Chains A and B, each alone.
Chain A
Amino acid sequence: DQQVKQNSPSLSVQEGRISILNCDYTNSMFDYFLWYKKYPAEGPTFLISISSIKDKNEDGRFTVFLNKSAKHLSLHIVPSQPGDSAVYFCASGTSGSRLTFGEGTQLTVNP
């Protein structure tokens, strides 16, 4: 039972444009959501998070949107830079419980 799904295994965008990465979850009890970025041969790096009491959280070029009714969250990167090329994982969970990760989306930003 895949409770967190990232349906796009890959995404390619031009430098300077917007990157939108999507994530869907099935467990309505999830109340905390995170995005991690992973470069090859490195561990995931925390990027941004959002709790279920909010529908938007912004940090510089990164914005996460949460649509609880649709059980959907997205990560927007504006403007995209070549250094953003990495695998992006969304993760979800409830207070005090394990995080469940999606399969990841490979983002490629072309110069």
Chain B
Amino acid sequence: EAEVAQSPRYKITEKSQAVAFWCDPISGHATLYWYRQILGQGPELLVQFQDESVVDDSQLPKDRFSAERLKGVDSTLKIQPAELGDSAMYLCASSFFQGNTEAFFGQGTRLTVV
């Protein structure tokens, strides 16, 4: 069964360091999402791509976060510098169409900033 692949599964980093997460969506899925889930809360969208283009990054803290999907396939989310409040689960998801179809999530990257 096709899956959204994410790496690493877990990451511990010191504050002020840079950290990066990688996501490979399900083959053929044009839409890719990065979500952040803080413990006890629901996932919050950080950025949405349609192919290689950003269609929604209104909730992305652009002073420290960046995301790219250069060839419209896999994607990287970067945080520089990391802050203690960035500790969360970072989830990648993909869907075949943009809009309201169900998105398929990866297992996520658990980030701990110390």
B108 to chain A, nearest CB (A): 5
Q: Of A43, A89, A104, which is within 8 A of B4 by CB?
A: A43
Count: A-B pairs, CB below 8 Å:
56
Q: Is the CB of A49 within 8 A of B102?
A: yes
Q: Of B4, B98, B102, B106, which is within 8 A of A96 by CB?
A: B98
Q: Hey, which bits of chain A sit against chain B, CB under 8 A?
A: 4, 9, 31-32, 34, 36, 41-46, 49, 51, 89, 91, 93-104
Q: What number of B residues sit within 8 Å (CB to CB) of A?
A: 23
| Chain A residues, Cβ within 8 Å of B100 | 31-32, 51, 93-96, 99
> Knowing A98-B48, A98-B56, A99-B45 touch, does A41 contact B107 (C-beta < 8 A)?
yes
Minimal Cβ-Cβ distance residue in A for B40: A103
| Chain B residues, Cβ within 8 Å of A95 | 99-100
